[in-house]
Amino acid sequence: MENNENRHLSVRRPEAPKHLDSEFTDTSKLSTQTKNPESQIEESQFKEPQELSTESAYEYGFSKKASKPAKKTSARDSKKKHMKIRVIAGAVAALVGVIIGVVCFALWYKEYLLNKITYETTDPDTAITIIDEEGNVKLLCNVTQTTRFAPIKAIDDAPIRNYLLIGIDSRSKYYNESGTGERSDVIVVMSVDTKNGTLKMLHIARDTYAYFPGYSTPHKINAAMSWGGPDLLVATVESCLRIPIDGYAYVNFAHMAEIVDAVGGVYVNMTSSEASVANNYIDEINPGAEHIYSTGEYTWLAGYQAVAYARIRYVGNGDFERMERQIEVLRSVMAQYMGMSTTGKIAAMDTVLQAIITNIPKEDIEKLALEFIPSLDHLETQYIQLPIEGCYNAGMYGDEWSIRMNWNAIIPYVQLFFYGTTTEYDWVEVPPHAPDYNYCNFEIPLEDLIH
């Protein structure tokens, strides 16, 4: 107890150095009072207060209470301590270097993928031309019909972008890389809602009649690609549907097989009749390639087999079922892609992007293909097929079979499908033999049209 009292006094009275001096110098008294020899404090530990170093002063309470006497540090311990600090610092620096390297590689690879795409950057106000009915070359901007879109909040503020997806066939001798010279086999308006994570598709039958900007007589809509390239087709779709198209992307069927293979093939619901016709296409395009032997709801197809399946036209209800097959393949490609690992998606995207020709800005493709879609756990896709029952006539008109839609009866369905509401729009000129607007069927619920 006395020993503890002496320690206690040495802490409580730092401002009285003379009194401490008298107690600490009487070492015989201190040693006599100490009962536990193991806790004795050596005389050499006590010094005159004015001789205490800063470290010792801290230890004995002149600045703060010390929990225990200062430890002596050898040169060897100091060296080990510095060595440990250097190792930790090196590890941190290496980790930071790895993180920076990964980020730099990710940015480089993202740019590498985006540069795989073929971009068309022609100024639409000066360079895009069409050949009119009299054979004259004219600027598209000078003949495009002005389309007005009512400024309703649901459309203007919606986080929605509409893109025209076009599939062309390079088997034609008139085909060239600009997209002109060949009619479009696939015409799909893809509407992307980045807020709700949905993707909606509107498939337009290629035999549908429409008026092209700059032309006084209607033609099959797929001819617009042949006469004025994707820009004329975009202008035609905008004019007929009264919706904005934010860009286009087209793919040659010759590359579609590569895209399907990149995601590991597709699954379709195939009948024996479809398999028979598809095998004929396989013999025509890929002589010697393996035929399709299995059929059923989950028939797996390789790339070239999927292209043959999507080309089938003379089974079932002609062009209508053909469109269903094309959408079936497209949706299966998306489903297969979403089910891939991260590394698998990166490898697949490398193949997909280099098959695309587009005028969509690079930053928009980056957000859509490399950020938005990969971030989704599940990509919800819906589609509607045009024409809509009760709003068209189809048959032989003149010397060809065609579909004559009343576009004005279609537009409200399109607006409701993409934007969830309807608005006023400028009246669209409809082709001859289309049903009168007043006799079109408006009783079909939108839900019944969505697949």
pLDDT per residue as tens digits for the range 256-315: 899 999 999 999 999 999 999 999 999 998 899 999 999 998 999 999 999 999 989 888
What pLDDT is recorded for position 204? 96
Mean pLDDT of the chain, nearest integer? 76
CB atoms within 10 A of CB 368: 17
Phi, psi for 84 (deg, rounded to 5): -65, -40
Question: Over 90: is that where the pLDDT of 332 sits?
Answer: yes
Q: 43-58: string of b/e by CB count within 10 Å (b at 16+)?
A: eeebeebeebeeebee
Enter the tokens of residue 74. 């050898």
Comparing 371 with 177, which gets the higher pLDDT?
371
Q: Are 186 and 171 in contact (CB under 8 A)?
A: no
Q: Which stretch, 83-92, 186-195, 257-266, has highest mean pLDDT? A: 257-266
Instruction: Give tens-digit pLDDT for 390-446.
Output: 999 999 998 999 999 999 999 999 999 999 888 888 899 999 999 999 999 888 999
- Residues above pLDDT 70, as percent of the chain: 64
Q: Are 192 and 372 in contact (CB under 8 A)?
A: yes
Question: Over 70: is that where the pLDDT of 161 sits?
Answer: yes
Q: For the residues 166-177, what does the mean pLDDT come to?
A: 61
Mean pLDDT check: name the lowest of 76-80, 187-191, 241-245: 76-80
- 229 pLDDT tier (thresholds 50, 70, 90): confident
Which H helix or E strand runs over 24? helix 17-25
Give me the residue label for tokens 């080990």: 80
CB atoms within 10 A of CB 437: 14
Question: Over 60: is that where the pLDDT of 165 sits?
Answer: yes
What pLDDT is recorded for position 8? 42
Q: For the residues 316-343, what does the mean pLDDT come to?
A: 88
Chain mean position to CA 292:
33
Q: For the residues 317-325, what does the mean pLDDT come to?
A: 86
Mean pLDDT check: name the lowest of 61-75, 284-298, 304-318, 340-354: 61-75
- CA–CA gap between residue 266 and residue 256 (Å, rounded): 12
Q: For the residues 345-370, what does the mean pLDDT come to?
A: 84
Q: Which stretch, 127-136, 138-147, 366-375, has highest mean pLDDT? A: 366-375
Enter the tokens of residue 213. 């900007």
- CA–CA gap between residue 275 and residue 158 (Å, rounded): 43
Q: Are 62 and 14 in contact (CB under 8 A)?
A: yes
Question: Over 50: is that where the pLDDT of 43 sits?
Answer: no
What pLDDT is recorded for position 158? 63
